[in-house]
Structure 1
Amino acid sequence: MSSQPASQQKPQIQPCRYKTGKTLGAGSYSVVKECVHIDTGRYYAAKVINKRLMAGREHMVRNEIAVLKRVSVGHRNILTLVDYFETMNNLYLVTDLALGGELFDRICRKGSYYESDAADLIRATLSAVAYLHDHGIVHRDLKPENLLFRTPEDNADLLIADFGLSRIMDEEQFHVLTTTCGTPGYMAPEIFKKTGHGKPVDIWAIGVITYFLLCGYTPFDRDSNLEEMQAILAADYSFTPVEYWRNVSEPARDFIRRCLTIDPRTRMTAHQALQHPWIRADDPVSPEKTAGEGQDLLPTVKKNFNARRTLHKAIDTVRAINKLREGGGLMAAGQMDGAMSVDPKPKNEVVDGSKVLNDQGHATGEEAQGPQGNDADAMEIDSRGNARGQTEDQIRRQQQRINETVSGLWGKKG
């Protein structure tokens, strides 16, 4: 028997039962990889969390495991936790392999998309959320990116994923959570107010998702985070421009209104939302409920989504340039979101068309020729996220191109 105190003994490291494959996605502290169980040959998704990068935030992983253990296998529309373990350097969460992709990508691949399709998607989401709420869990980060599909087939199950911000609540209390968290455009007013929040925040997020699914943009989309927060606090949204909402039924709008109610006490619950006429599968509330009828929303939704994505990318770039002019140096939060390298000697890589330098500030080969080999004005970003290397003339020329892009996004008027 070892004479070492238990606290000083090395942890017992078990041999890994999985072999990882291609990368499916990445975040600030983790990477999601396809994996196969060595003994059974079954494929799963493994969320690989770097312990060093996650230092001080281990509670988030423990929380995600606790939530998934509580609800896994209980509902067909909730991602199942298959296994979890740790090695010397990483934590692993093994879940269902959602081969059908994210919600919006799925919609864009369809040949057509009707209001009744949106209602079906929201019904499945609500069913899972009602199950979570019945088990004392609030998700707190519902958004299209966290809604996946089990397989590529048309009838594949929708899955709610990413329970990192979820919480198991005290059933005797309504207002129990006060931490500001989530994705700003989908956050409920009470989260910003920090007066306490609970299950109703998920219904607000579902209202935002529904609005997005019917037009291609979110109801509180603004040019800055401050303006977006102010709009959310006042529930300042409308069903405009009219041409994008002309073919959306009144029951759909009413459903959104009842989700986007400022007072969480009067907001619909998940079970009440499932009984709304627009959601109930057996309630033919409008012609859109009948297969083959209604207006195809896909062209409008794709057009608006792509236009706003381009606009916000341009705006973010302008902000970064202005920050450089002010001498800030560091890129705005979120510009370099991705899995951080643990290699002590970072390799050159290309991120969003910008050149990434190594710690010595050097680039070699094709990267030394500029992003994609032909943009002499592009920003250089080193491995720590610092932007540098542009003259005032280069900044001016790049900003002019961005301004031209922004002004031309919506086409010529008149």
Structure 2
Amino acid sequence: MSSSYSRGQPSPAIQPCRYKTGKTLGAGSYSVVKECVHIDTGRYYAAKVINKRMMQGREHMVRNEIAVLKKISMGHQNILTLVDYFETMNNLYLVTDLALGGELFDRICRKGSYYESDAADLIRATLSAVAYLHDHGIVHRDLKPENLLFRTPEDNADLLIADFGLSRIMDEEAFHVLTTTCGTPGYMAPEIFKKSGHGKPVDVWAIGVITYFLLCGYTPFDRDSNLEEMQAILIADYSFTPLEYWRGVSKSAREFIKRCLTIDPTARMTSHEALMHPWTIGGGETDESENNDLLPVIKKNFNARRTLHAAIDTIRAINKLREGGAAGMMDGALSKDPNRQNDGFVGDGGDKMEIDSRGNARGQTQEQIREQQRRVAETSKGLWGGTRFKQDS
């Protein structure tokens, strides 16, 4: 591990942990974020605890995150500050400010009311931090509501941009462009999918998606599959519909979103231009804005889409089961063949098990599959009045 940090990158010294960790705040594929307290000072922070063994081969991501945070920490009130970083024998620790105010959308849903002007204030704070990043040659690449946190539970708390694991420091003199496909699909710009090279404009695209989401409760390219979502993003296939959800949103807000969701990155607004847009400057208070409370619609749409996608995921699982690609996922018990050698997967009890690769989905009969489908169909009918959902093959 230490050799991975030797090529001109930060090399935290291996030392005893100076922090006592507490409750878990979040988790990723190779890390967990925990509340922690400094043993000597008693001050509370958040520690991203990264398992060295699990992250083997991806050390560059951590080196990069440390480099980015060191460059920008303490420089802007809307960016999470890196307090400390070090290694122990098994883990790498990134210690940051403790954001006690929760995630952006959770905070909105807990409010008693929520107006377009509130959305504009949130976007202005986010853009201010993004412009600061861009001025320092950094592109975030994973802007989304889940990575926007509040410093404290108070109403006037700072909004913080967090999670710089996918961020990059751009080499402006060498006209450095990035080509790796990364990010969260619904918030990714067309040029990322095209692999034509991307940079700072991808953050402005993400701001456009976030703004749309903050005004209606669903994302502009929300589709039943990642492929359909990508196809919609590539041609910017979105609209401000249904009209009933957008009637109370100003033309200025919609024009702001359009300027962000411009396919050509060279024609897209820069972060500084977005900060100077009339909707951002005016805080959402425009002549055509009806100052409607958006919260009921946003919560309704968000919950409806979440329930819909859960049902779609269930139907997909059944289809995969029928194809024999996920035997044993549903109600039927996974069968064991006593005539075969134990060279399959290990079950919870330590027994070797076999997954049949043929199309008859061993472990669940056709009758059981039909019964499962019937139950999902009944559930779907009860939730959405018999609406039929498009399924992926």
TM over 0.5: yes
SS in 1 for 2:281: coil
In structure 2, the CA distance between the partners of 1:135 and 1:388, relative to structure 1 (3 Å rule), is: farther
- Please give the alpha-carbon distance, in whole angstroms, between the structure 2 residues aligned to 1:65 and 1:284: 39
Residue 401 of structure 1 is aligned with which of 375, 380, 384? 375
Decide whether the 8 Å contact of 1:215 with 1:304 is kept in 2: yes
Decide whether the 8 Å contact of 1:175 with 1:197 is kept in 2: no
Residue 325 of structure 1, CA deviation: 1.6
Residue 398 of structure 1, CA deviation: 2.8
In structure 2, the CA distance between the partners of 1:95 and 1:111, relative to structure 1 (3 Å rule), is: same
Residue 319 of structure 1, CA deviation: 1.2
1:46 equivalent in alignment to 2:20: no
- Please give the alpha-carbon distance, in whole angstroms, between the structure 2 residues aligned to 1:301 and 1:79: 27
1:319 equivalent in alignment to 2:316: yes
Counterpart code for 2:105: F
How many correspondences in the alignment? 353
- Please give the alpha-carbon distance, in whole angstroms, between the structure 1 residues aligned to 2:117 and 2:180: 36
Residue 335 of structure 1: aligned partner: none
Counterpart code for 1:303: K
In structure 2, the CA distance between the partners of 1:278 and 1:388, relative to structure 1 (3 Å rule), is: farther
Counterpart code for 1:63: N
Alignment of 1:341-360 (within 5 A): 359-360=346-347
Residue 321 of structure 1, CA deviation: 2.0
Counterpart code for 1:50: N
In structure 2, the CA distance between the partners of 1:282 and 1:47, relative to structure 1 (3 Å rule), is: closer
In structure 2, the CA distance between the partners of 1:101 and 1:320, relative to structure 1 (3 Å rule), is: same
1:89 equivalent in alignment to 2:96: no
Decide whether the 8 Å contact of 1:189 with 1:262 is kept in 2: yes
RMSD (CA atoms): 2.5
Percent identity (aligned): 84
Decide whether the 8 Å contact of 2:380 with 2:386 is kept in 1: no
Counterpart code for 1:19: K
Residue 149 of structure 2: aligned partner: 148
Alignment of 1:75-224 (within 5 A): 75-172=76-173, 176-224=177-225
In structure 2, the CA distance between the partners of 1:243 and 1:65, relative to structure 1 (3 Å rule), is: same
- Please give the alpha-carbon distance, in whole angstroms, between the structure 1 residues aligned to 2:215 and 2:179: 31
User: Residues 143-169 of structure 1: CA distance to partner in whole angstroms, max 9, x if unpaired?
Assistant: 000000001110000000000000000
Alignment of 1:300-319 (within 5 A): 300-319=297-316
In structure 2, the CA distance between the partners of 1:245 and 1:59, relative to structure 1 (3 Å rule), is: same
SS in 1 for 2:114: coil
- Please give the alpha-carbon distance, in whole angstroms, between the structure 2 residues aligned to 1:276 and 1:232: 23
Residue 225 of structure 1, CA deviation: 1.1
In structure 2, the CA distance between the partners of 1:238 and 1:394, relative to structure 1 (3 Å rule), is: same
Decide whether the 8 Å contact of 2:120 with 2:284 is kept in 1: no
Residue 396 of structure 1, CA deviation: 2.8
Residue 361 of structure 1: aligned partner: 348
Residue 213 of structure 1, CA deviation: 0.5
- Please give the alpha-carbon distance, in whole angstroms, between the structure 2 residues aligned to 1:119 and 1:187: 21
SS in 2 for 1:61: helix
SS in 2 for 1:176: coil
Residue 3 of structure 1: aligned partner: none
TM-score (norm 2): 0.85
TM-score (norm 1): 0.80
Alignment of 1:15-30 (within 5 A): 15-30=16-31
